[in-house]
Amino acid sequence: MQHYRPIHQLFRQAAVVDRQLALVRPFASLATVTNNTSNLKENTNLSNRQKFNQIQPPIKLYEKLEKLGFGTLLKTKRYSGLHKQKAKRDQQRQKFTERVGPPPEPKYTFPLLSFFAGAKAPTSFPPESLDEIAFVGRSNVGKSSLINSVAESNVVRTSDKPGLTQQINFYNVGKLFHMIDMPGYGFAFVDDAEREQWRQLMETYITERKTLKRVYVVLDARHGVKVADIDFFKMLNSKQVKFQIVLTKCDLLVLPNLAKRIITVENHIQQLRNAVKDVVVVSSKTNAGINQFRKEMLFLMGHLKPKEFYEAVQATKDEKEAKKSKSLNSKR
């Protein structure tokens, strides 16, 4: 007599095989790699460092990072498999598009950044007017530097010592929208009472501000998600505030480690309903990823203009620069 297995058992078996394949398939899709890392997490014998090292980012992610300006993968034996895959993908792409790639992106620009209010207590918040974007994160991760970088300004004060920004600072981006620089959370050098005061201030702003359109949680790419960040994600999630992760200081990581870091961060936010699943990847020092981030912010705030606008702005700037250097040369 022939025995048939119930359908749910077949599905379960297929899932097991798929998971096993995911572990041996070296360069699978991003989704598979994510499964891959969660499998690794189940293996309690591995240290976090070992789990991190075992992540195998897909070629797609490397291509994205390369496009954003984070360098290229070394042509060593270690990455020869990835290079072979890349060559194959290029070949396929060439077949379909005859090498006519997408047109180059213009340089997106923000209008002039200016400080207009600082608040140490909710009573000092300026009245709600234009839409707002807030930058939060642990101390010293690079929030203030990031605001300067996207706005091509040096108005926001930065420091290599943690705890510089000690109030909520409001900046005008021309007359388009506001950018808000927050004090860092999880700052160890202030006493408990002060830390609690900052936490309440930030929580009040984030939960009560009607004009707040997006919270960017900034993480240092070298450290990824820490306990203080998880607590903050939970708070944002419980208050149903939509947020997005920005990984900064990405210039301080070699490309493979940066790709692995992105995957671990994506794993952290997978289950959080209010987290935007796309992670922004930038460096305020080299400006890699900044132009793309600027474009996304302008789109989010409803102020993204057609490419021709930014091309014209750039052409006028270039013309002015050329005139300036010409007159300087003639004076010499």
Ligand X SMILES: Nc1nc2c(ncn2[C@@H]2O[C@H](COP(=O)(O)OP(=O)(O)OP(=O)(O)O)[C@@H](O)[C@H]2O)c(=O)[nH]1
Residues that bind ligand X (CB under 6 A): 137, 139-145, 158-160, 162-165, 183-184, 248-249, 251-252, 283-285
Q: How many other C-beta atoms can be found within 10 angstroms of the C-beta atom of residue 115?
A: 13
Q: How many other C-beta atoms can be found within 10 angstroms of the C-beta atom of residue 17?
A: 10
For position 144 contacting Mg ion by CB under 5 A, the verdict is yes
Distance CA 192, CA 164 (A): 17
Interface with Mg ion (CB under 5 A), residue from 37, 56, 148, 165:
165
Residue 325 CB, shortest distance to ligand X, in Å, is: 29
Phi, psi dihedral angles at 72 (to 5 degrees): -120, 160
Distance CA 132, CA 309 (A): 23
Distance CA 288, CA 273 (A): 29
The site partner of 248 among ligand X, Mg ion, none (C-beta below 5 to 8 Å per kind) is: ligand X
The site partner of 69 among ligand X, Mg ion, none (C-beta below 5 to 8 Å per kind) is: none
Judged by beta carbon, residue 82 or residue 181, the one nearer ligand X is: 181
Judged by beta carbon, residue 203 or residue 307, the one nearer ligand X is: 203
Judged by beta carbon, residue 58 or residue 142, the one nearer ligand X is: 142
For position 284 contacting Mg ion by CB under 5 A, the verdict is no
Name the amino acid, one letter, at 173. V
Burial of residue 324 (number of CB atoms within 10 Å: 0-12, 13-18, 19+): exposed
Q: Which residue is nearest to ligand X (CB)?
A: 184
Integer-rounded Cα Rg, in Å, for the chain is: 23
The site partner of 244 among Mg ion, ligand X, none (C-beta below 5 to 8 Å per kind) is: none
Beta strands in 4-112 (DSSP E): none
The site partner of 172 among Mg ion, ligand X, none (C-beta below 5 to 8 Å per kind) is: none
The site partner of 98 among Mg ion, ligand X, none (C-beta below 5 to 8 Å per kind) is: none
